[in-house]
Amino acid sequence: MTGMQPRDPHNPGAPLIPRVGWDMSPWNRWTFQHVREMTTTAPIWRGSGPVRPLPESLQPLGELMVSFPDGKCSVADFLELNFTAGLLVLHRGRIVLEYYMDCLRPQNQHLVMSATKSFTGTLTGMLMNKGLLDVRKPVTHYLPELAATAYRGATVQQLLDMSSGVIFDESLNEGSHMQKGLYAGWYRQPVPGWPRTYWELILSLDEAERSHGALFNYRSIESCVLGFVLQRVSGMSLADLMSYELWVPMGAEEDAYIVVDDAGFAIASGGLCATLRDLGRFAQLLVEGGAWGGRQIIPSGWIEATRNGGVELPEDMRKLLPNGAYHNQWWIEDTRRRTIWARGHGGQTLYVDPGAEFAAVKLSAFPDDDTVNQRWIDDRVALLAIRAALSER
């Protein structure tokens, strides 16, 4: 008897989504909204408390004409052209613009990729404020197992600022550290001789290329090490910690979830999946100095310190952020305005400007081609144009 060949029921006749590379285009327009169907995840419970209301004051910002490097178009047309899944804009605490595209729905979680790092950084500040850790101490104070690695001597703050001297190949080249991490915790396809978990990958990093703290060098593994620090000092999984410290007190409407590896470790560098509005609640909480419902949820001092900037960006990143910096796992979009930006692969954005009482979340599925850098620039141009239009109203 011949068995039936399974296929994706959403698109009869279409090729199956590959196990390796499911997060890449063209699959990402579907998989970013269906991560639980592609890999293993852990839930982030919203609790049983009240949902923070987000009052609406919708404005016709979709009609706003924006000047991009290659011409003018409306915000609505731009969203179609730039592979958008959802956009939420809040001004003075109210929703002024909300779009759902690519089958995204208000109750559906979307992968935010490396914007997860900014949640990890924020949790670090929250535990520091509780006295559970000191970011000035070496990471080996909390994870003594790393004394045998190149992280020996690096501080927690240097992890937050991605300025350790540890060698980690962030490329997707064959055999790179990043590829090994993806196979261990993302694609779940073990390769003989490669690490099977993120902890094994971290323990294998025994080479440094410079002294710790010398300069910024973007490496996702720094966020994963931070995730282990947070678990160690709190005694909780990262998913439970995010639930207890953020999702419950900020009044999230839906549960979130996060990708975990074979050992159950949450991918602190890029695995968070959440709804558009709950991401907006987090961004709005930052705009308001970290307080809501009569409670200081995120330390206001940590938010201010993050906004004040840290390490300078290398020259190749200044085309996107000419006045940018990096600090506490956040991009500083403009050091003059002290705006902060969480960014993730494929066009995931949380933009926070407390001075303008402005927050925006954009979820996307950029194609993996040579247009990606320009798409990031266009996203920033659009958000700044929307902010400018709102400031005049």
pLDDT for residue 255: 99
Q: Which amino acid is at 362?
A: K
Q: Which amino acid is at 19?
A: R
Interatomic CA distance for residues 126 and 246, integer angstroms: 10
In sequence order, which residues have a C-beta less than 8 Å from that of residue 120 and are 6 or more positions away?
A: 223, 226, 227, 230, 238, 268, 269, 329
Domain of 268 in residue numbering reads as: 41-391
Highest-confidence range of 254-263, 314-323, 366-375, by mean pLDDT? Answer: 254-263
pLDDT for residue 12: 59
What DSSP state is assigned to residue 12? T
Using CA of residue 292, residue 224, residue 89, residue 382, what is the dihedral sign?
positive
Interatomic CA distance for residues 56 and 238, integer angstroms: 32
As a whole-number percent, the residues of the chain with pLDDT over 70 amount to 96
Question: Out of 223-232, 289-298, 353-362, 364-373, which region has the weakest mean confidence (pLDDT)?
Answer: 364-373
pLDDT for residue 10: 57
Banded model confidence at residue 370, pLDDT cuts 50, 70, 90:
confident
CA proximity to 168, closest of 127, 202, 139, 213: 202
Q: Which amino acid is at 361?
A: V
1: in domain:
no
- The pair of structure tokens assigned to 337 is 């305005």
**Is 80 exceeded by the pLDDT of residue 6?**
no
pLDDT for residue 146: 99
6: in domain:
no
Interatomic CA distance for residues 96 and 279, integer angstroms: 15
**Is 70 exceeded by the pLDDT of residue 63?**
yes
307: in domain:
yes
CA proximity to 237, closest of 265, 204, 200, 277: 265
Residue holding tokens 């060098």?
217
**Is 90 exceeded by the pLDDT of residue 20?**
yes
Check if the beta carbon of residue 324 is closer than 8 Å to that of residue 337: no
**Is 60 exceeded by the pLDDT of residue 267?**
yes
Mean predicted confidence (pLDDT) in 225-248:
99
| pLDDT tens per residue, range 330-342 | 999 999 999 999 9
φ/ψ (deg, to 5) at 258: -140, 140
φ/ψ (deg, to 5) at 191: -115, 130
Banded model confidence at residue 13, pLDDT cuts 50, 70, 90:
low
pLDDT for residue 214: 94
The widest CA-to-CA distance across the chain, in whole angstroms, is 70
Banded model confidence at residue 77, pLDDT cuts 50, 70, 90:
very high
321: in domain:
yes
Number of domains in the chain: 1
pLDDT for residue 190: 86
pTM confidence score: 0.95
186: in domain:
yes
Residue holding tokens 């706003």?
64
Helical H segments across the chain, by residue range? 28-31, 75-81, 116-129, 156-160, 177-185, 198-203, 221-234, 238-242, 276-287, 300-307, 372-391
**Is 70 exceeded by the pLDDT of residue 1?**
no
Q: What is the DSSP string of 351-366?
A: EEEGGGTEEEEEEE--
As a whole-number percent, the residues of the chain with pLDDT over 90 amount to 90
204: in domain:
yes
Using CA of residue 168, residue 237, residue 365, residue 24, what is the dihedral sign?
positive
Question: Out of 9-23, 57-71, 167-181, 198-212, which region has the weakest mean confidence (pLDDT)?
Answer: 9-23
CA proximity to 51, closest of 278, 357, 284, 291: 278
Banded model confidence at residue 8, pLDDT cuts 50, 70, 90:
very low
pLDDT for residue 7: 43
CA proximity to 310, closest of 325, 288, 293: 325
Question: DSSP 3-state assignment of 74?
Answer: strand
272: in domain:
yes
**Is 80 exceeded by the pLDDT of residue 197?**
yes
Q: Which residues of 267-302 are buried (b: 16+ CB within 10 A; e: fewer)?
A: bbbbbbbbbbbbbbbbbbbbbbbbebeeeebbbeeb
Number of residues assigned to the chain:
393
| C-alpha atoms less than 13 angstroms from C-alpha of 90 in its C-beta half-sphere | 28
Burial of 101 (0-12, 13-18, 19+ CB in 10 A): middle
CATH number for position 200: 3.40.710.10
Mean predicted confidence (pLDDT) in 44-58:
98
Average of per-residue pLDDT values in the chain: 95
**Is 50 exceeded by the pLDDT of residue 229?**
yes
82: in domain:
yes
Q: Residue 190, preceding bond cis, omega within 30 degrees?
A: no
Check if the beta carbon of residue 95 is closer than 8 Å to that of residue 58: yes
